[in-house]
Structure 1
Amino acid sequence: MTEDARRVFRMDNEVLAFRFTATVSDRAGLAPRERLADPARLKMWLGAAGLGVTDVSQTDLENAVELREVIYRVGSAIAAGEQLEPKDVRTLNAMAAAGHAKAVLRHERAGWNLTETDPVSDALGVLAADAIHILGGPDRSRIKNCEGPGCAGLFLDTSRGANRRWCSMNTCGNKVKKSRITAR
């Protein structure tokens, strides 16, 4: 991952699909921040996520933002115990089906071979399939929204007691702890 990608994106979520939803920061705050501001930023994020593509169009960016928001809405509905919107489920399934990426093992690491004809759709298909695996899998009851101030990011609570409250202790958890110390 490049230094630029580390500065621009949060890549610390264990779940690839939820890492993608973090391309909007401070979702629950007063001024959510869009990190996929242009096709070049999407290309940068995909590269940092191991889904490198050579070119990204404005339409690709629009499709990616639509997928990201669908994943976020479905994940948040599951976290809240709410019904899923059928349109969101259809979109998620369609984007997963449109991808033709193949899993590969390279240099003892898992990766993806994307087609030359539509690599961005393939990459979005990987993200959609990852979301389906988590959102519909056996751990779906452990999907949560971060309780950090302004965050509301999605995460999979893998703690033994299922009592984790923050998407990342290094970011949101530290903010809360620092504010408690300051308040004393």
Structure 2
Amino acid sequence: MAEEIRRVFRMDNEVLAFRFTATVSDRASLAPRERLTDPARLETWLRATGLEVAEASPADLKKAVGLREAIYRIGSAIAAGEQPDSKAVRILNTVAAAGHAKPALEHGLAGWHLTKSTAADDALGVLAADAIHILGGPDRNHIKNCEGPGCAGLFLDTSRGANRRWCSMNTCGNKVKKMRFAEP
């Protein structure tokens, strides 16, 4: 299962909300790739992040994609020094308010307890709350879009010189270095 998750999803972003936005890859290319293609894929991604839901419906998937795109639009606006779109902010706040997940410490690790009746809304609420914390918190000035070819993924630049350019050195950074090495 872990291998399948790594093959299907990018899980290398340290910010949960930005990891969620990476469920679309190659955003800046001519052919972005949707990774949340059905409710089962949403369930798999949520399980991999510790937000296990018993079952996600097509409506849950639609809500999740709407939330993901709202987070991405707000993050990209902040990275560009622009004011976030008010509709995206409304979506983010609405989803955050609908969740009823409770933080829990289990086996020495932080996790979440989701309600049985609204588990998908709770899981999406956790993602929205994480986004609000990053997008509106003290680190908001460190939000960047990846400069990797076709990527444009969001990441939090915590490097000493605030000069990080890629969402991940292992993926986008390596692609750029390989392209430079291959140049004549």
**Residue in 2 that maps onto 1:35:** 35
Query: What percent of counterpart residues are identical?
Result: 75
Cα deviation, 1:103-159, whole Å, max 9, x if unaligned, reads: 001111110000011000000000000000000000100000000000000000000
Cα deviation, 1:33-63, whole Å, max 9, x if unaligned, reads: 0000000000000000110111000000000
Structure 1 segments of 4+ aligned residues over 4 angstroms from their partners: none
The TM-score with structure 1 as length reference comes to: 0.99
**Residue in 2 that maps onto 1:59:** 59
- Name the count of aligned residue pairs: 184
Aligned-partner SS, 2:111:
strand
**Residue in 2 that maps onto 1:159:** 159
Specify every segment of 5 or more residues in structure 1 that has no aligned partner in the other structure, as ranges. Answer: none
Aligned-partner SS, 1:117:
coil
**Cα deviation, residue 23, structure 1:** 0.2
**Cα deviation, residue 84, structure 1:** 1.2
**CA RMSD across the alignment:** 0.7
**Residue in 1 that maps onto 2:146:** 146
Amino acid at match of 1:26: D
The TM-score with structure 2 as length reference comes to: 0.99
2:10 counterpart of 1:10: yes
Amino acid at match of 2:97: A
**Residue in 2 that maps onto 1:72:** 72
**Residue in 2 that maps onto 1:130:** 130
2:99 counterpart of 1:99: yes
Aligned-partner SS, 1:127:
helix
Q: 1: distance between equivalents of 2:4 and 2:183?
A: 34
